[in-house]
Structure 1
Amino acid sequence: MSQENNSAEPDIYPENEECPGEDPLVFGDELELNQFDGLPFSSRYYKLLKERKTLPVWKVRCEFEDALVNNQLIVVSGTAKTGRSTQIPQWCAEFCLSAQYQHGMVVCTQTNRQQAVDLALRVADEMDVNIGHEVGYTITLETCCSSDTVLRYCTDDMLLREMMSDPFLEHYGVIIIDQAHERTVSTDILLGLLKDILLQRPELRVVVLAVPPMTDKLLGHYVGVPLISLEDSCSAEVVHSNSGNKDYFYSALRLVLEIHRTKEDGDIVVFFASAGEVYCAHSILQRERTRLGVELGQMVPVVLCPGQGGLLPSLTEQPDSRGSRKVFLSNQQGEDMWWAAESVNFVIDTGVQKKMVYNPRIRANSEVLQTISQFQADVRKRLSGPTGKCFCLYPEDSQLPAERSPQILESNITSTVLFLKRMEIGGLGQCDFIDRPDPEGLMQALEELDYLAALDDDGNLSEIGIIMSEIPLDPQMAKSLLASCEFDCVSEMLTIAAMLSAPSCFLEPPAGMTHEAVQCHRKFQHPEGDHFTLINIYNAFKQSQREQYFSAEKWCQDYYLDHSALKTAEAIRSELTDTLNRIELPISEPSFGTKTNTHNIKRTLLAGFFMQIARDVDGSGNYFILTHKHMAQVHPFSSYGAQSHKLGLPEWVIFHEYTLSENNCMRTVSEISPQVFIQMAPLYFFYNLPPSESKNILQDMLDPDGSRNCKEQRAAPDSSDTDSGCAAVPQTYDRCVIQ
């Protein structure tokens, strides 16, 4: 900081030389010491410093530092390639150092794991310190920090979880919310809660980094805060398609091959609509690369899908061989992650994205194809720099929405509501959302928490709800894990929870190998259903690790299983075990395979997922979902899907996931007994199920005498399973009032 702002403690960091009135502190013969670790600067530090001073953000350094001294909250407007995500956190670290860290350290949030790691590595290099010491990062299942860490990058959801034990984030003197324009649920909650935290902590500083039009929205939300605007990097040459191209997928692939044949230097980035398209494109390009002439050089397709689990390959890696060209294949998420991809010279933008939009009425996601926002389009145009080219596979006059829709308006917010209820206990007031969640989604979330016994009669968190909020799982799975302590199947439930939280362990088989892959997967199938199959796979994976003469990675390859996904599941299971130990919940010994254990696992699953029950209404796999009366089929990859012709399908099932799309499939399905469902489901949930033939069958089991008296009044059930049922519902079981 400048001496006029903090004359008692002059800044000795040499890079401050451009701010007037500041002189670096020199030791001996121009020996300059790094004030963060006390060691002399290396030659690389000065080389990087010269590069940093060319960044657009450097022009506003003094303005930013003055604003940081005089304001609690600052909004910075600028794209990723302006240097905002690397330089501003360093200046904030100097600000905290000037106060001897009396008010805490610096934390900078990111919306994806890879960028948090890449930025931490880059900034540690620029600050000339060791990663994991003065600069560190925290992402899901991985922490690289120490007691010496003064600047930490982390994902936004990890900072939220940190608030469970530190509601006012008193460990930090400066909080930087990067990529606010991505509008993730976690970032929006942080922006809402920080407004209240700033009132409680006048010494705290908050810096929000975003791009227009999000910056305008932030200025309206936080009244009277300064805005610092950065010069945008120049856009590349932009080439638009002359007509609306519905065949964008194959047009993009043809364009990749055309660019490669020109032999122009530079890597290529292609933005597809979904992860499924990315993997399909990767398979096609892998096949096509073998047909290209040697004189064209090697073309290396690389999958980059943020949010698909695991860390992505580094964007700054050198090509595999001289003359090779990387083709990065990505979906719509996290355009900002390309800040380090200096080798990119071509961008192909399909202009569309597939999103999962949650419908609270049916408690399910719907897959929606829509155009990208204008700000996403603008970011993509700048990725290749002023010398590159951006090919937009849509007309120049296309009407794109101005900004990305907030995820909090399109997601299941039950976990969010559980977290906010926990924050109320910690002393935080209401979350002042930039865009308030839909009232229907909010009521559905409160109703679901009430069904799960997470709320008391006053609408506050119950004791069960408090424990559920400690477990880093969605509320339904957290409730099931709690129930497993009662039913002595904790070990098995930990495995199920970990496998369902990790990416899918099933690999997409190469062309022509589908039958072999199905045969390999069939070896793990369990007659009781997919949840049990996942336990078989995990146990077999652990066994392969114990076999010293056999490589676990090779074992996964032989059985068409994803080694990285199983390693992620292993790490998640370990974290969940640590959580249960920390909150002193009992962990029973594994007894998988016994009849009692199988029965207990099903009861445990029903304790959390009783809202996800379906019945085969005609014996041919047409399942009627009781909560919203939609019809669905079992996913072809399910063990039931593979063996339906041999063994037949169960009448009643519990499922983990249902998506409203072209095939309306249920994923991860296991057989259950309707009697056990009645036993485990809360009665006030059961009596609020919509009328249907399936509900009548259950009601006959629950109250056969009472049901017999109504039978004559019922209409005959039809094939759609929408019989109106008996109108007389006991008054005791009316829908409970959500406070």
Structure 2
Amino acid sequence: MLNCNRVYPSVTLNVLWQVYNPQIRANSQVLRAISKHQADMRTQRVNSHLPGRSFHLFRFHFLKFKGVMEENLSHLVLLLKRLDIADMGQCKFLDRPAPEALMQALEDLDYLAALDDDGNLSEVGIIMSELPLEPSLAKALIAACEYDCVDEVLTIAAMLTAPSCFVTAEPSREEAAVAHWRPLMHTEGDHMTLINIYNAFLERTYTRAGNSPVTDEAWCTTNFLSHAALRLAAVIRAQLLEVMQRIELPVSLPAFGCQDNCTNIKRALISGFFLKVAHDVDGSGNYLLLTHRHVAHLHPFSSYLCRQPRPDPPGWVLYHEFTVSRDNCVRIASEVHPEMLVELAPQYFLGNLPSSDGKELLMEGVCRSVCSMKTKPQTGSKRWKKPT
């Protein structure tokens, strides 16, 4: 860096980038040089003291990386389908994504019942395209209409769309952070914990005379929670609720707390995230991901690892995100039962899932409960159908 008549050398450090890998349906952490935008930020910091210039040398191939080429394209393909652009091969992208990324996006949308036999949007796909969410979350929210748990799944969708509400504490304060999070953790898993945190945040919201609602930022700071992330989640939730009311989707009343409601929430989540399921292979917390057979662990701040006394690791979990990194952790995981997976996504678990040890264990779990499922009376919520 040049500043007046002085030269300050600045090492171009490598940083971790999140790159989506369509073959394993997961993000990978890749070590890469800083971007042009980050280099410009360094220039601005130099110029904030004295006028100067900065010079950055990059190889040409660093300029070729584009966001659309390194992200999950399911939402983009859903949008293009809604715009009646059926042939992705003929679409003139400014930066053409890899063919396998487009194929994986189409395959995921087909699994979610967003496409019909001709490759066009189905009725479910049209509704999914109206919701400003990733397709899996949109499908879970639509399924929540069937199970009378829309209020709770709206909260989960908003919390997962907003940045993480957990503040990363220094190593010396991690124990204190976990101690503050522990009363908010739910026994049914991390998705329910997000609802607890959001509801506790709303309880600390008050209204001044003639003004808009004000939240208690000090409470967030004390509990190692991000006030900005929770406020954004509240805004996202309100916007999602407006969209659902506009397209005339039913919104159920809050019923969080009873066991039937938690079961229905899991059913709705499975409807959208059945591709993200893992099972404990040895009873010690080593989880094999069914779709691509990676071994992962629960996040250190998962409710299953932070509660006291610590419960046994759940046999089967549904997770929101998996990143290939040094730790290989699944983030936001909740326990599910094998029979629920086969019941809600039979086309995948009985047909498309390749033969493996995980599939055999899944079938064993289903066989153990199939007799009780046949004799048990149907007490589920009424099914919702799109109004004509």
TM-score of the aligned structures, taking structure 1 as reference length: 0.46
Supply the distance in 2 between the matched residues of 1:551 and 1:448 (Cα, whole angstroms): 39
For 1:439, the equivalent position in structure 2 comes to 99
Task: Report 1:389-538 matches (<5 A).
Answer: 390=54, 399=59, 401=61, 403-424=63-84, 431-510=91-170, 512-538=172-198
1:660 aligns with 2:324: yes
| Local SS of the residue matching 2:180 | helix
Supply the distance in 2 between the matched residues of 1:367 and 1:686 (Cα, whole angstroms): 32
Shift of residue 430, structure 1, vs aligned partner:
5.4
Q: Deviations over 1:163-220 (max 9, x none)?
A: xxxxxxxxxxxxxxxxxxxxxxxxxxxxxxxxxxxxxxxxxxxxxxxxxxxxxxxxxx
What amino acid maps onto 1:424 in structure 2?
A: D
User: For the Cα contact (< 8 Å) 1:507–1:561, is it kept in 2?
Assistant: yes
For 1:352, the equivalent position in structure 2 comes to 14
Q: Deviations over 1:656-696 (max 9, x none)?
A: 00000000000001011111111111424542223221201
Supply the distance in 1 between the matched residues of 2:148 and 2:24 (Cα, whole angstroms): 33
User: For the Cα contact (< 8 Å) 1:626–1:694, is it kept in 2?
Assistant: yes
Supply the distance in 2 between the matched residues of 1:424 and 1:488 (Cα, whole angstroms): 32
Q: Deviations over 1:381-402 (max 9, x none)?
A: 754569325487xxx6x74635
1:612 aligns with 2:272: no
1:544 aligns with 2:204: yes
Q: Aligned Cα RMSD in Å? A: 2.8
What amino acid maps onto 2:295 in structure 1?
A: M
What amino acid maps onto 1:418 in structure 2?
A: L
| Local SS of the residue matching 1:647 | coil
User: For the Cα contact (< 8 Å) 1:412–1:445, is it kept in 2?
Assistant: yes
For 1:569, the equivalent position in structure 2 comes to 233
What amino acid maps onto 2:200 in structure 1?
A: A
- Greater shift after overlay, 381-390 or 632-641? 381-390
Supply the distance in 2 between the matched residues of 1:377 and 1:488 (Cα, whole angstroms): 46
What amino acid maps onto 1:588 in structure 2?
A: S
Residues 382 and 534 of structure 1, relative CA distance in 2, 3 Å threshold: closer
For 1:28, the equivalent position in structure 2 comes to none
Shift of residue 529, structure 1, vs aligned partner:
0.2
Q: Which structure would you say has the larger RCO, counting Cα contacts within 8 Å and 6 or more residues apart?
A: 2
For 1:303, the equivalent position in structure 2 comes to none
Supply the distance in 2 between the matched residues of 1:353 and 1:512 (Cα, whole angstroms): 24
1:681 aligns with 2:345: yes
- Asked which structure has the greater CA Rg, the reply is 1
Which runs of 4 or more aligned residues in structure 1 lie more than 6 Å from their structure 2 counterparts after TM superposition? none
For 1:365, the equivalent position in structure 2 comes to 27
Residues 405 and 239 of structure 1, relative CA distance in 2, 3 Å threshold: farther
Supply the distance in 2 between the matched residues of 1:434 and 1:493 (Cα, whole angstroms): 36
Shift of residue 380, structure 1, vs aligned partner:
5.6
What amino acid maps onto 1:678 in structure 2?
A: V
Which residue, 562, 565, 583 being the options, matches 2:247? 583
Q: Deviations over 1:62-119 (max 9, x none)?
A: xxxxxxxxxxxxxxxxxxxxxxxxxxxxxxxxxxxxxxxxxxxxxxxxxxxxxxxxxx
User: For the Cα contact (< 8 Å) 1:635–1:665, is it kept in 2?
Assistant: yes
Supply the distance in 1 between the matched residues of 2:308 and 2:359 (Cα, whole angstroms): 25
| Local SS of the residue matching 1:687 | helix
For 2:286, the equivalent position in structure 1 comes to 622
Residues 380 and 497 of structure 1, relative CA distance in 2, 3 Å threshold: closer
| Local SS of the residue matching 1:668 | strand
Shift of residue 512, structure 1, vs aligned partner:
3.4
Supply the distance in 1 between the matched residues of 2:52 and 2:41 (Cα, whole angstroms): 11
Supply the distance in 2 between the matched residues of 1:507 and 1:619 (Cα, whole angstroms): 30
Q: Deviations over 1:541-561 (max 9, x none)?
A: 11111498x962122122121
For 2:384, the equivalent position in structure 1 comes to none
Number of aligned residue pairs: 358
Shift of residue 646, structure 1, vs aligned partner:
2.4
For 2:313, the equivalent position in structure 1 comes to 649
User: For the Cα contact (< 8 Å) 1:236–1:382, is it kept in 2?
Assistant: no
User: For the Cα contact (< 8 Å) 2:185–2:307, is it kept in 1?
Assistant: no
Which residue, 210, 221, 244 being the options, matches 1:557? 221
For 1:601, the equivalent position in structure 2 comes to 265
For 2:376, the equivalent position in structure 1 comes to none
| Local SS of the residue matching 1:658 | strand
| Local SS of the residue matching 1:627 | coil
Residues 499 and 377 of structure 1, relative CA distance in 2, 3 Å threshold: closer
What amino acid maps onto 2:18 in structure 1?
A: M
What amino acid maps onto 2:126 in structure 1?
A: I
Supply the distance in 2 between the matched residues of 1:433 and 1:569 (Cα, whole angstroms): 32
User: For the Cα contact (< 8 Å) 2:349–2:359, is it kept in 1?
Assistant: no
For 2:379, the equivalent position in structure 1 comes to none
Shift of residue 502, structure 1, vs aligned partner:
0.8
Supply the distance in 2 between the matched residues of 1:615 and 1:482 (Cα, whole angstroms): 26
User: For the Cα contact (< 8 Å) 1:239–1:389, is it kept in 2?
Assistant: no
Q: Deviations over 1:227-250 (max 9, x none)?
A: xxxxxxxx8669475xxxxxxxxx
Residues 572 and 349 of structure 1, relative CA distance in 2, 3 Å threshold: farther
What amino acid maps onto 2:151 in structure 1?
A: S
User: For the Cα contact (< 8 Å) 1:349–1:391, is it kept in 2?
Assistant: no
Supply the distance in 1 between the matched residues of 2:205 and 2:234 (Cα, whole angstroms): 11
Task: Report 1:164-183 matches (<5 A).
Answer: none
Q: Which runs of 5 or more residues in structure 2 are unaligned?
A: 209-213, 369-388
Shift of residue 468, structure 1, vs aligned partner:
0.2
User: For the Cα contact (< 8 Å) 1:506–1:561, is it kept in 2?
Assistant: yes
Shift of residue 577, structure 1, vs aligned partner:
0.3
User: For the Cα contact (< 8 Å) 1:496–1:535, is it kept in 2?
Assistant: yes
For 2:296, the equivalent position in structure 1 comes to 632
Shift of residue 697, structure 1, vs aligned partner:
2.0
Q: Deviations over 1:417-453 (max 9, x none)?
A: 0000011179x99531122111111111000000000
TM-score of the aligned structures, taking structure 2 as reference length: 0.84
What amino acid maps onto 2:274 in structure 1?
A: F
Shift of residue 699, structure 1, vs aligned partner:
2.7
Supply the distance in 2 between the matched residues of 1:378 and 1:633 (Cα, whole angstroms): 35
| Local SS of the residue matching 1:508 | coil
Supply the distance in 1 between the matched residues of 2:21 and 2:7 (Cα, whole angstroms): 37
User: For the Cα contact (< 8 Å) 1:451–1:685, is it kept in 2?
Assistant: no
Q: Which runs of 5 or more residues in structure 1 are unaligned?
A: 1-234, 242-347, 705-739
